[in-house]
Structure 1
């Protein structure tokens, strides 16, 4: 522990006492922040694990559907379909605050719009063809959410792309949660270090310095008191000596 070089006086003592109070208040606030961050971290960790399981299931469903489609569709046709199927997507990154820590929120503005468009198309198809079964595949799906035609494909590829679409939102939420965990972990570690620095370094150092100043001031006060008592004794002795000489002069004068 580094030792401070300070002057042992009341002004310095007052300054260090104020600094100690500030350090203790900061230590208390940082401990509260650390505990709050830890609680929030564990909550988000549980959410992340649940969201990861959900995403894994949806991706597995999409992979199984794609494998089934690959087994019944000409590979060249499937490749052309995949290349033309999806429109460009833009992920937006916004921010929110968790205990004064800024974390990202990933969103896909096109997702809801595309889902609404898909729902409207499905509704229009049902209205135009009320007698057709829900399992029958449209021969022209170029205006759907996926943006590809189904003239040369089967319903299996449609199911596969629907599964991928269904997985988009959970995947974005999972990315948000995992990035949030990374940021909170860094902030939690920094806060823990600051708490430990205050608790084990700064506060003990201030307490030790204050004790040393008080001891030095007490020692100086005792030295000053000793000097004052010596001066007082000297003055008393001088006064006694002066009176003795005055008495001697008086006796000599009377004689």
Structure 2
């Protein structure tokens, strides 16, 4: 792992150690978030799959009734019967927070006073299959909204999960190793400088001792010479 291009000073070493501690703590928190997001995503994906299968079965039944109705009455009658809907809905979009991700929640209210009053035509020219198709389609409308919300929630959680996974990998395989290598380099460099300083201090100390011994020898020689001169 390539180290960071920084000056090997004690101040930089202290700063990098703080960054390493922060990165390590953030890595743990992001790993916990990633694991929780994965759990939420898998549970939601299973629920989403179950709901989709149920909706597809019900929609297949609705389409079957529409085909039967279309076989009994003409296309013109079908279009005329469904041209002016009697019932309407007002869609409301809310949101909820899952692991710092805002996901949508859908709800609706019917515009007509009677929610069951959904057939916009008389019974003389249409068939019972058309009534069944519209009634069943009205029944699965809440499921369709729920499925749409879960589909969007799944997509948002998947995107957040991928983003969190990239951050965890960046910290685990790039940032933390680079900080560790740089801290090791600075520590070794400071230790090397410290050993160099100690060596220089020892040399200076030896030189001072040698100088002191030399002065002492000179002083002793001067004393001996004075003593011999006095004896003469």
TM-score (norm 1): 0.84
Identify which of 159, 173, 189 aligns with 1:186.
159
Measure, in 1, the Cα distance between the counterparts of 2:22 and 2:122: 69
Any gaps of 5 or more consecutive residues in structure 1?
A: 120-143
Do structure 1's residue 40 and structure 2's residue 13 form an aligned pair? no
Instruction: Name the residue aligned to 1:203.
Output: 176
Measure, in 2, the Cα distance between the counterparts of 1:34 and 1:219: 42
Instruction: Name the residue aligned to 1:123.
Output: none
Q: Secondary structure at the match of 1:153?
A: coil
> Shift of residue 96 of structure 1?
1.0
Instruction: Name the residue aligned to 1:103.
Output: 103
Asked if the contact 1:58/1:166 (under 8 Å) is kept, the reply is: no
Please list the CA deviations of residues 190-217 of structure 1 after superposition, one character each: whole Å capped at 9, or x if unmatched. Answer: 1111100000000000000000011001
Measure, in 2, the Cα distance between the counterparts of 1:235 and 1:108: 94
Identify which of 121, 126, 135 aligns with 1:153.
126
Alignment of 1:96-245 (within 5 A): 96-110=96-110, 117-119=114-116, 144-245=117-218
Q: 1:2 to 1:109 in 2, by over 3 A?
A: farther
Q: Secondary structure at the match of 1:71?
A: helix
Measure, in 1, the Cα distance between the counterparts of 2:59 and 2:213: 108
> Shift of residue 71 of structure 1?
2.1
> Shift of residue 237 of structure 1?
0.4
Q: How many residues were matched structurally?
A: 228
> Shift of residue 57 of structure 1?
1.3
Asked if the contact 2:3/2:179 (under 8 Å) is kept, the reply is: no
CA RMSD of aligned residues (A): 1.7
Please list the CA deviations of residues 121-170 of structure 1 after superposition, one character each: whole Å capped at 9, or x if unmatched. Answer: xxxxxxxxxxxxxxxxxxxxxxx134443343232211110011112111
Q: Secondary structure at the match of 1:96?
A: strand
> Shift of residue 65 of structure 1?
1.2
Measure, in 2, the Cα distance between the counterparts of 1:84 and 1:244: 124
